[in-house]
Structure 1
């Protein structure tokens, strides 16, 4: 048995702006700082090199703790698709993969977000333990991205983010 399993989270969102504007919000550090992970007031480091093989980093400061997220860009197809890795080293050495696909619609654009979540587990775990861990990882990840996508939608459609995530 492997020491990890993978579960796939797929989410769809509609934005009333062109795909290029949403794509830009994923890559522009000033825009990323306003919605990605939490809010501008808690995101203290944003570093981004949006080229294939380039890396990105966000450090979010909450409750006296720094939370660091890092990754590398795997694919960039402006303004249709971006694929990148995602890791939070303070929690795990496991690296997830995220794909964002954008399609123009008559009312703006549709975003299909896919997060391949690696779920580490102990060799002694039963199948039930593994399924429980996968479900918890899925639910927690979905909750977090739902909050972020509320901020992303508000940012690209109004130019500001007011939710409190």
Structure 2
């Protein structure tokens, strides 16, 4: 069994949209394919079985490669809270946990995102090597989610995702 550590990434965004619209963007395949790990133009698969225990899946084609993100819904409290597992099997078989909270605040909403990132490492790694790996995983995840959240913002605020999709 591979040795792992866990690091928690938390991010927040204020979106000029209703909490219902933001929640739908996380759960409706026709909206998910516009921003969640993919874009409308590169999406190959966007589906979900939206129920506790149901599975969601996104497949994105980047050049000649396909990248798959999948997971299982663990908790659903529409339109305020969503919890699901997350795995990208082409990289490893480790499963992260993601929780999204969406709250209406006047004419906007606040979205808080938390990812418990499982970081693989070797048994003989020093504390410093483990800390470096955890920082790398967290930094790369934050960078990716930041780009996706910009696309989510465009989608829920304007109904469309613009040129930023390739960034």
More displaced, 135-144 or 60-69?
A: 60-69
1:124: which partner in 2? 124
2:92: which partner in 1? 92
2:79: which partner in 1? 79
Residue-pair matches, total: 164
- Is 1:147 aligned with 2:142? no
What pairs up with 1:48-59 in 2 under 5 angstroms? Answer: 48-59=48-59
Whole-angstrom CA distance in 2 between matches of 1:39 and 1:79: 23
Query: TM-score, with normalisation over the residues of structure 2?
Result: 0.96
Report the 3-state secondary structure (helix = DSSP H, G, I; strand = E; otherwise coil) of the residue aligned with 1:34: coil
- Is 1:158 aligned with 2:158? yes
Structure 2 residue runs of 5 or longer lacking an equivalent are none
Instruction: Give, in angstroms, the shift of residue 54 of structure 1.
Output: 0.3
1:42: which partner in 2? 42
1:109: which partner in 2? 109
Report the 3-state secondary structure (helix = DSSP H, G, I; strand = E; otherwise coil) of the residue aligned with 2:148: helix
- Is 1:22 aligned with 2:12? no
Whole-angstrom CA distance in 2 between matches of 1:43 and 1:129: 36
Task: Check the 8 A contact 2:38/2:58 in 1, yes or no.
Answer: no
Report the 3-state secondary structure (helix = DSSP H, G, I; strand = E; otherwise coil) of the residue aligned with 2:34: helix
Deviations 1:25-76 (A, max 9, x none): 0000000000111311111111111100000111111020011111000001
Whole-angstrom CA distance in 1 between matches of 2:51 and 2:108: 26
Report the 3-state secondary structure (helix = DSSP H, G, I; strand = E; otherwise coil) of the residue aligned with 1:69: strand
RMSD across aligned positions (CA): 0.9
Query: TM-score, with normalisation over the residues of structure 1?
Result: 0.97
Off by >2 Å, runs of 4+ in structure 1: none
Whole-angstrom CA distance in 1 between matches of 2:20 and 2:96: 25
Deviations 1:110-152 (A, max 9, x none): 0000000000100010000000000000000000000000000
1:61: which partner in 2? 61
Whole-angstrom CA distance in 2 between matches of 1:157 and 1:63: 29
Report the 3-state secondary structure (helix = DSSP H, G, I; strand = E; otherwise coil) of the residue aligned with 2:82: strand
